[in-house]
Amino acid sequence: MKIGDKIKGTITGIKPYGAFVSLDNETTGLIHISEIKTGYIDNIFNTLSIGQEVLVQVVDFDEFTKKASLSLRTLEEEKHQFPHRHRFSNSRYKIGFKPLADSLPEWIDESLDFLKQEH
């Protein structure tokens, strides 16, 4: 088990500070109340229930005690992220630096003509 792994588990206990999750016969973990979901949780017992199957992400893992710190929140936030779009690209028509590069010689000629007229 490594940090960042996504593992299915079963909630075996709930306390006001978090929920205990059984990952396998040897490994247990805790989802701290701050890692259950984004925002405020008024009552943890209304959010999770014993016996509930959950997909969690490993936040920390102690190899000696075989205990893990788990998160549901990171998986929730992962779903809501928007893909990063590259803004400046030559692959799209009229977007990015290509239209500027195409217009630059014309602008330079216009500027030089204007300066010649001034003097």
In the predicted model, is pLDDT for residue 30 greater than 80?
yes
Q: Is the pTM above the cut of 0.85?
A: no
Query: What is the tens place of the pLDDT at every residue in 57-98?
Result: 999 988 888 888 999 888 887 776 656 565 555 555 555 677
* Burial class of residue 75 in the structure, from the number of CB atoms within 10 Å of its CB (0-12 exposed, 13-18 middle, 19+ buried): middle
The amino acid that residue 7 corresponds to is I
Domains and CATH numbers, the chain: 6-80 (2.40.50.140)
> pLDDT at position 106, please?
92
Q: Mean pLDDT of all residues in the chain?
A: 83
Which residue carries 């803004």 as its tokens?
87
